[in-house]
Structure 1
Amino acid sequence: MTKRVRVLVVDDSALVRQAISHGLNQDPSIEVVGQAVDAFMARDLIVRLRPDVVTLDVEMPRMNGVEFLRRLMPQYPLPVIMVSSQTRAGCRVTIEALEAGAVDFVTKPSGMGIGLEQMLVELREKVKIAAAVDVSHWRKRRDVLPRIVKRKPMTLNRTGDLLVAIGASTGGTEATRKILSQLPEGFPGIVITQHMPPGFTSMYAESLDRSCPLKVREAHNGDRVAPGQVLLAPGGKHMRVVRRNGGGWEVVCREGELVSGHCPSVDVLFESVARAARAKAIGVILTGMGQDGADGLLAMARAGARTIGQDRQSCVVYGMPKVAHEKGAVQKLVPLANIPEVLVRLVAEGDHG
């Protein structure tokens, strides 16, 4: 019999603890081994029960989830899934928790009866994925944010004629942060689709903006794609790149049906870039479960764009890049640490090409 994933549920609400525990135990491959009402009880139970995965409430009394993570991960690294509210404060702390080592997050429904089952389905899937994630690199780690590498600003002739499109899911928030923190000012315009619900993308963009030399913000309909600027697809809306009258590109952000299981969808972004920018684009597919982005990246490659996939060893989840590579969409599989350097080189080659 396959070993079950042992889970510790941490939440100050007895009702939420019961609902999450019952929902997780519905999956025969998951076993809830304990419940904790706060970070201090969680600390003791982690040492005693040695769970494989922890689900952690974002907002708790005495010590919130992110502060607990900052203390836990350097001493006792464990895969953690955050359970977040969709309040502004909840969104902000969730982004901080991802920076501090959380693997992923789910959002609490507005009521325990509305959307609860959907949340539990998502949580069960993410718990099983998290159990296989290696978080040992957080041991003895003190720096939460990646160090910004100060590069000489780009002064290429045609940076405005080039476009970089990035797609990511599970583990992608920090992978993207590591890439952007090492790109130079004046780098060609970047468009990103990261799987996130409404409310979280604006907070994530603000967080990236504080830690990167480029200007990062959540995209709005009609925003221009410009050198030195990063546009992040808003949660709940597909983002497409279209040609502007007079040259260059702008984005169109609209609500829509799920595509490849997501809104925003990486496939939607990449396919629009293939049509609008063709050979003047670079596509990057990062860590994430599922296959969103694979078909879109293939369309980009067929249109003449250069394409990069994050390699297996550096992915939190080698799903999206794996499918893209198997479809023949990835021209280069690159470790996360090397992607900034590869992008700078490809941009320089494109500038002179």
Structure 2
Amino acid sequence: MQKVRVLIVDDSALVRKVLTTMLESDPGIEVVGTAADPLIARDKIKLLNPDVLTLDVEMPRMDGLTFLDNLMRLRPMPVVMVSTLTERGADVTLRALELGAVDFFTKPPADLANTFMDHAPEICAKVRLAAGAKPRERAAVSKLDVAPRLSADAVLPLAQTPGTRGGTRIIAIGASTGGTEAIRVVLEAMPPTAPPIVITQHIPAAFSGPFAARMDSCSAMRVMEARDGQPIQAGHAYIAPGSQHLLVMWDGAKHVCRLHDGPPVNRHKPAVDVLFRSMVASVGAATIGVLLTGMGDDGARGLGELKEIGAPTLVQDEASSVVWGMPGAAWKAGAANEMLPLDAIAARLLALAHTPVSAAASRVGT
């Protein structure tokens, strides 16, 4: 199998060294070069023709965003951003994803040489997946230890009797790699009277608040980071905080957001399967389940559980996905009723929102 050829662009010599060691611990990755700033990187891209670029967000001579913008206009290629866990790092990284970066990973705030290596499996996986992603124009480790992969059962058992309380449609969306931009496309097309939307996007804790604020600024809906016990209302979208699972529960009079500090599920926290599992218990067939672009298969099982109880389920198609992992896994497993391009999903969600729950459930499997 041909190795993924990577060029590392970072002004820190330590980061370049650690990233090189980390990536080359994966037999499927070859670091073909490094660059201390974008101007050096520009020449090395022409010379080395790498498959993937890792790019720091803050560098001398030319900042990472300016370089990325130029790169995506002149020579689009898969880029994985290297970010910091700060508010500024979050804002710059989200802007980089808007400009066309495939994904990002974050530098630990301290003890870089030791703690960075703990994330080797995740970072190597992001780089490998990026190599197969479709770049978009503007619109020493001897063994990699892998944590056990838990299912949604670790947080919430599957309800024996699906919930039907409230009778109001609630849209549940899951996404990962490429999802920040896919979610923006959906929310921008939603009117202020849209049904409530709950969202789990794989994202670090420091990034979920700025991401929610960014979505709020571009949507007619009121978009916010979910709070524990917060009532779920029409015209509002609730985004899971990073590092906490988002569940929807019935509190006796209304649906509310519940935050859960349980273990990672499918190695993610927040996890889409946990959100979908909670929808089965509290909203039932009134749920509309959606899986957008993302790496892995988180959400595929939960989407299938929603389909089994009569909830309409959708996935984003391969052509419009940055990575067709999560939606592809759900589609191949038969968990989705429909597969649509990203720009058609919002309209379909609004149409389904006006479909009687009983009618939607009766058509499942036909």
The two structures share one fold, judged by TM-score above 0.5: yes
Q: Structure 1 188/351 Cα, relative in aligned 2: closer, same or farther at 3 Å?
A: farther
Q: CA deviation at 1:269?
A: 0.3
Q: Return the alpha-carbon distance in structure 2 between the equivalents of residues 43 and 119 of structure 1.
A: 28
Q: Tell me if the contact between 1:57 and 1:83 (Cα under 8 Å) persists in the aligned partners.
A: yes
Q: Tell me if the contact between 1:286 and 1:309 (Cα under 8 Å) persists in the aligned partners.
A: yes
Q: Return the alpha-carbon distance in structure 1 between the equivalents of residues 342 and 181 of structure 2.
A: 10
Q: CA deviation at 1:91?
A: 1.2
Q: Tell me if the contact between 2:285 and 2:357 (Cα under 8 Å) persists in the aligned partners.
A: no
Give the secondary structure class of the aligned counterpart of 2:61.
coil
For residues 221-264 of structure 1, what are the alpha-carbon distances to aligned partners after superposition, in whole Å with 9 as ceiling and x for unaligned?
01111111110000000110001332x31110121101121110
Q: Tell me if the contact between 2:14 and 2:113 (Cα under 8 Å) persists in the aligned partners.
A: no
Deviates more, 1:30-39 or 1:262-271: 30-39
Give the secondary structure class of the aligned counterpart of 2:174.
strand
User: Is residue 24 from structure 1 mapped to residue 30 from structure 2 by the alignment?
Assistant: no
Gapped regions of structure 2 (runs ≥ 5) = 140-165, 360-366
Count of matched residue pairs:
332
Which residue of structure 2 lines up, in the alignment, with residue 184 of structure 1? 191
Q: CA deviation at 1:350?
A: 3.4
Q: CA deviation at 1:39?
A: 1.4
Which residue of structure 1 lines up, in the alignment, with residue 210 of structure 2? 203
Which residue of structure 1 lines up, in the alignment, with residue 44 of structure 2? 45
User: Is residue 258 from structure 1 mapped to residue 258 from structure 2 by the alignment?
Assistant: no
Q: Which of 175, 187, 191 is residue 182 of structure 2 equivalent to? A: 175
Map 1:227-306 to 2 at 5 A.
227-246=234-253, 248-306=254-312
For residues 29-76 of structure 1, what are the alpha-carbon distances to aligned partners after superposition, in whole Å with 9 as ceiling and x for unaligned?
211111111111111211222111000011212322222211210111
Give the counterpart letter for 1:345 in structure 2. A
Map 1:301-340 to 2 at 5 A.
301-340=307-346
Q: Return the alpha-carbon distance in structure 2 between the equivalents of residues 229 and 114 of structure 1.
A: 42
Q: CA deviation at 1:128?
A: 0.8
Q: Return the alpha-carbon distance in structure 2 between the equivalents of residues 293 and 133 of structure 1.
A: 20
Give the secondary structure class of the aligned counterpart of 1:131.
helix
The TM-score with structure 2 as length reference comes to 0.87
Which residue of structure 2 lines up, in the alignment, with residue 153 of structure 1? none
Which residue of structure 1 lines up, in the alignment, with residue 147 of structure 2? none
Q: CA deviation at 1:351?
A: 8.2
Give the counterpart letter for 1:189 in structure 2. P
Q: Tell me if the contact between 1:109 and 1:119 (Cα under 8 Å) persists in the aligned partners.
A: no
Q: Tell me if the contact between 1:160 and 1:226 (Cα under 8 Å) persists in the aligned partners.
A: no
Give the counterpart letter for 2:21 in structure 1. H
Q: Return the alpha-carbon distance in structure 1 between the equivalents of residues 342 and 46 of structure 2.
A: 32
Give the counterpart letter for 1:218 in structure 2. E
Q: CA deviation at 1:160?
A: 8.2
Give the counterpart letter for 2:117 in structure 1. E
Give the secondary structure class of the aligned counterpart of 2:120.
helix
Q: Tell me if the contact between 1:275 and 1:303 (Cα under 8 Å) persists in the aligned partners.
A: no
For residues 200-234 of structure 1, what are the alpha-carbon distances to aligned partners after superposition, in whole Å with 9 as ceiling and x for unaligned?
11111111111111111111101111111110000
Give the secondary structure class of the aligned counterpart of 1:313.
coil
Give the secondary structure class of the aligned counterpart of 1:105.
strand
Give the secondary structure class of the aligned counterpart of 1:224.
coil
Q: Return the alpha-carbon distance in structure 2 between the equivalents of residues 87 and 322 of structure 1.
A: 33
Q: Tell me if the contact between 1:160 and 1:189 (Cα under 8 Å) persists in the aligned partners.
A: no
Q: CA deviation at 1:6?
A: 1.2
Q: Tell me if the contact between 1:160 and 1:188 (Cα under 8 Å) persists in the aligned partners.
A: no
Q: CA deviation at 1:265?
A: 0.6
Give the secondary structure class of the aligned counterpart of 1:62.
coil
Map 1:35-184 to 2 at 5 A.
35-110=34-109, 111-135=111-135, 137-138=136-137, 141=138, 144=139, 161-184=168-191
Gapped regions of structure 1 (runs ≥ 5) = 145-158
Give the counterpart letter for 1:13 in structure 2. S
Deviates more, 1:332-341 or 1:105-114: 105-114
Higher RCO (Cα < 8 Å, 6 or more apart) = 2
Deviates more, 1:108-117 or 1:27-36: 108-117
Give the counterpart letter for 1:326 in structure 2. K
Give the secondary structure class of the aligned counterpart of 1:225.
coil
Q: Tell me if the contact between 2:286 and 2:357 (Cα under 8 Å) persists in the aligned partners.
A: no
Q: CA deviation at 1:292?
A: 0.9
How well do the aligned residues superpose, as a CA RMSD in angstroms? 1.7
Give the counterpart letter for 2:32 in structure 1. V
Q: Structure 1 352/265 Cα, relative in aligned 2: closer, same or farther at 3 Å?
A: closer
Q: Return the alpha-carbon distance in structure 2 between the equivalents of residues 76 and 243 of structure 1.
A: 50
Q: CA deviation at 1:119?
A: 2.4
Q: Tell me if the contact between 2:8 and 2:55 (Cα under 8 Å) persists in the aligned partners.
A: yes
The TM-score with structure 1 as length reference comes to 0.90
Moved over 3 A (4+): 350-353
Q: Tell me if the contact between 1:237 and 1:263 (Cα under 8 Å) persists in the aligned partners.
A: yes
Q: CA deviation at 1:3?
A: 1.9
